Every structure is written in structure tokens, then in C-alpha cells.
Structure 1
């Protein structure tokens, strides 16, 4: 199975050609960046003009991302070939069943059968709780009545297996899985910035620019920061393995986005939260973005879509706020994060160093 969505064409070749076409009209052939912003404005005008030309649109081969019964059935058939008793490549089988779910229409037979197939894999792998969850999902997707007996038998067998496991656990015959160690700060947390230790400070120098220093000696292995990211991006190769929103590995119980054929979620809540934030903007173009580009431009898109959510989806208000923001005054280690608003938190992202002075115009 090819997990990557990127095609051989890629977007970089197109923009290399576009840059070659534009640079002749830029001051100094685009080799230098002027401080007045004139070059950037001219480049923006030229790009807007070129973007509407047929050669750009034809090169990108943009298309609407839609569900497809044909592709769903093909993916499920591939999954069945991996699930065959003589093959038993269960992980590959589940990935293809998940691909089928992504292409399937809501309440379609293809979707119901994919959930049922996934329940069979879970049963063979002794993942009985996930087996039962897939049976529930299959029924919710209008699993065909003619095959209902299969689910009933598998459901009863999974419940019996769980009961047997519970009995064995009570008798002490089951080894409990090791608990994952949770990360904790090695030193006292900063009172206003609880995600970092109170030994960290923000400094600035001509040699290093803005940087973080410590006011005490640290040992290898010390944990001085444990911070939740403002936004994340699931790389395309894991789209059939992890939740697009929380990133948890839930490949045996993922459910698809109802709008696109890319994103999958581990729960209705994650699907809802993604739609309320970034995915409402990305859904129609996500497959094309991955197909044409690589993860860096897609992450740039996610940065923008999440920025909009930090301002309650009010783009005009966001532009007004950022247009008047004095980035030199933004100090994430001096801000009180316990009472900070979402837009205050975004300011710390917006004011990150861009290293613009070391990048060429291209």
C-alpha cells in the first residue's frame, strides 16, 4: 500500500518554473530583498496574475475530493486479500479497510462491510473490545440483514472471550501491562508559566538573537518544559493509523471524515472538534495539498487555519490585532498563561523568529 499522497509531479517543480518566469520582472532579478516591502508587494501582484492562467491550473490538476464507491470497494477487496488465512497481514488489511471507510458514503454497504471486516481482524488479534466497537459501528452504518448472523456470532464470541479474560484476571493469571511513565518537570514550575520550570528565562543578544537560558545548572535528563503544542499535523502516511485531531494510535477504531477522503478520527468528539477548528477550512483541499506539496506547506496551511480559530473565526479581527501587534513586546516567559486568552497565546506563535534575513526571495 502506498501511504504517501504526494505524486511524482509535486508542487515544487511548478513553483520553480513560476519563479523563473517572475524573477525577470522583480528588482535585481529577485536576488535581493528590499526593506520597504516593494518586492513583496510586486511579487504578490505577479503571483495573483499568473495564478489564473491555464498553465498553472492545468499543471496542478486540482480536483474535487469526493467519496467513491468504486475506490471504497477496491480498497476493501485489497484488505480482504491481506486478511486471507494464508496471508494474515493484519496491519495492512486494517489500513485498507480504513481506506475503504474514507472513500465510502455514510450508511453505505461498503462502509458497513469495512467495519465488519475490521471487527474480524480485531477478533483474530484478541482485541475483543475493539471488535465489539466495530460491530457497533457496522450496525450503525446499516449492516446488511442478510449477513447479520455473522456479526451476532462474532459478538457473542468476543463477549465470551472478554468474560474469560476477566475471570483469569481475578484469579491472578493475567500479567498487567506496564504503565507508561508520565512526564513531570524536574524543578518547580514557573508560577505564571506552569508548563516550564522556574529556572528558564528569555534572553536576547546580538550573537544568538532571542533565546532561552537557565539560571541554574542542569543535568542531562532534566525535564524543564512540558508544553502542549498550539497546533499539530498528522503526516499523511499515518492517516489510516492515527487520529487526525488527537494523534492517538487508534487504527482499529478510526472513523472517517464525512467530507473528505483523507482525515480519520478516533471518536465523534475528535471529529467534532476538528470540524469546529481547522478542518472546516482544510477539508475540501487537504488531499490536493498533500498530493501537490510536502508536509512543510501543509503545516503552513495548518498554522493559518489554527490562527483563524484563535480569533473565533473572525479574520478581520485577526488582521486588525496582528497589524497593531508590537512583536518586540511579546515575551512568552513573562506572560501569565493562567489567565491568557487564546489570542494572547497565538501572539507567542506569531512573534517567533522567521530568520527572514537569511532567506532569499524565492
Structure 2
């Protein structure tokens, strides 16, 4: 899509300094590779060096960065929040593919399914009895929607997603390819040295504006519900166990695993490869750093790291001390030898 520089600046709430307001902008690119008729963003002064020889036609930046030297002919797009302005530009210049609002003749849709207006259902989709699909929702090829499932408005269900019976999904939800929503939790009891499966008859509730990455699995509740709060974003390859209560606007990064019956409060962040034991509470605005193991509660608005995780500063001091251990052992050995000589004397 092509937009004039002037129109793009207005759309993104930015002020143009320099350049030609009538120049066409055809696409967006990162600061290292942007070329003619492309727009980029400078969101950190340390990347300014890449602009010295840049061919980009325009660059979003803040007021401070606008004082830097820029190539002749490059327009400065000064914004209060360059990142958000750039995201707006990317969405405008690279609109998502729009599918014709249609039901594929190769889809299997039960007669009792309620279908909203302006929906798209791709080939080889299966929607089972007594489910409902909200207005403007897209369900892409190969997805399987179980019985008594409700999906809200303007959702996008990507290929080969499986949504189990009785799941409830709100509006504006994105579920990427290969994800499994509402499978049984991993629960067993032992009897006579055999594992007896605990039945899972609960469901999963996904609230509005949630995004779930590819190949992520979220288990249903044992008897109640597993809940994913509004605005939460979950990366690829995440496992969320049964009966978890995930708050609003939580970030869960890739390859993290959350055991059952945990509470993760609003705006918490779990970085990549985090492991969380069952029945743990992670407080609001807490940050769990990458590859941490959480075996106990995490206080609100704290940062923890390590396995088992502890306060970030404490963990780093311990790691620094551990690095000094070989030298310390040498000193101890030398002292022992001196003491041994003194004893002999």
C-alpha cells in the first residue's frame, strides 16, 4: 500500500521536519535495511549510527533524537511515542490479508451452530453442535471447534487450531496455528502402582483481546475453569496447566510452563523458559526473568531470577561470588599448608 508522507504523518500523529511531504511511502523496514520510499524508526540513540548511510525516506523519532544529524533528504517524523507511531504506520502500509466473508463448501458445520454475520470459515474446518461464532470472526483451514463452544466477535482462529468442548472465547482474540485450547489437564492418582486418570470436566475461559501463539497448549479446569484475562499475550510453545487464573495484560514468553492451580496477577511478565510449580501466586507487575524456576510465591512488583528464583540482585551477587570460588579454594589450600607447617614447628 502507498501513502504520501504527509498523510502518514497525520495518521501517526507525527510532525514532519524536512523531506518532501508529497513523497510516496510504500512500506516499512527496520533501521538497518530501510531504503527509498520506506519508513523506519529510531527508538534508541545507539542505533543512530545506522542512519548515516541510510536510504530511508522517513524515520520516526522523539524530540531528542531529532537533534541528531540525519542524511540529507530523509524526513524526520517527530512523535511523542515513536514505537507506537511506527506500529500504526506498519499496520497501514502492510494491511492484513482480508478473506472473503464466506463459508467453504468443504467445511463441516453442524446444523445447530449459530453463525454471526460477515464470518469466514475455511476449508476442512469442523464446527460441532451447539457452538456459536460471533460476527466478523475468521476460522482458517483445518481448525476444529468442539461442542458448546462460544467464540466472540472479530476473532481470528488460524489453521489447525483445536478448541475443545465448552470453551468460551471473547471478542478480538487471536489464536495462532496449531494451538490446543481446553485439553485435559495432567492429573493422576496412584492405586496399586497404577496411574488413575483424574477426569477433567471443567472448561477454559479466554477473555477479550487475548493473543495466543502457535503450538501453545492451555488445559481446561478439572471441575471449574482455567481463565485467561483480558489483554493477556501468550507466546509460542507455552504450556498452561489446569485451573490456572491468569490476570489481565499478562505477558508469558515462549517455552514457559505453568503447572496447575496457579494465580498470575495483572500485568505480570514471565520471560522465556520460565517454569512455575503448582499452587503458586505471582503478584501484579512482577517480572520473572528468563529460565527461572518458580517454586514459591512472588511478591507484587518485584523482579526474580534463578532456580529456585529469588530477588534478582541477591541472585546476581550469589552468581558473582560463585565465580570467585576457584580462586578462593586456592587461597584456602595455601592457608592450610601454612597452618600445617606452623603445627609441625
With structure 1 as the length reference, what TM-score do the two structures score? Answer: 0.26
Higher strand fraction: Structure 1 or Structure 2? 2
With structure 2 as the length reference, what TM-score do the two structures score? Answer: 0.27
Higher helix fraction: Structure 1 or Structure 2? 1
Structure of greater relative contact order (alpha carbons < 8 Å, 6+ residues apart): 1
